[in-house]
Amino acid sequence: MEFTSKAYFDFIGEGRIMGSRCRACGDESLPPRLVCKECGSVDLEWEEFEGKGEVRAFSVINIPLSRMDGRSPYAVGVMRLDDGPSISGLILDVKEEGELSVGSRVEAEYVKEGEKTALCFRLVP
């Protein structure tokens, strides 16, 4: 299957995090890429990642984008997956900066928004 954003989001809809892995140098990308960002190879394969990781950076947003109306404050972060690359996303049910820190454990949660599914994260103890 081609490395398109549609394919990526179709997998998210199935509750699977699929990225690309370069057969030449082993570099992993999320979302998947057509060309390896490290070595330029186009010899890539799909790789599935488990949705567990830790927060590497985050911000709590008090003034929301309009589509986020009713959800503010909310947190966005960059999560480093245990078995893969980093990916950004919403961290659910966080209202204050004090609830989060770099290194907080998170796991993936798939949130339906109409016909789409968004990859979000939730804090785990």
Both tokens of 49, joined, read: 């990642």
Q: Is 116 left (phi over 0), alpha (psi -120 to 50) or beta?
A: beta
Both tokens of 58, joined, read: 């985050």
CB–CB of 57/34 below 8 Å?
no
Q: Which is nearer to Zn ion, 17 or 22 (CB)?
A: 22
Q: Which is nearer to Zn ion, 47 or 121 (CB)?
A: 47
Q: Smallest distance, Å, CB 47 to Zn ion?
A: 13
- End-to-end, the C-alpha distance of the chain in Å comes to 36
Span 14-53, contacts to Zn ion by CB under 5 A: 22, 24-25, 27, 36, 38-39, 41
Both tokens of 35, joined, read: 């060309």
Count of chain residues binding Zn ion (CB under 5 A): 8
Q: Which is nearer to Zn ion, 84 or 89 (CB)?
A: 84
Q: Which is nearer to Zn ion, 4 or 41 (CB)?
A: 41
Q: Which residues bind Zn ion (CB under 5 A)?
A: 22, 24-25, 27, 36, 38-39, 41
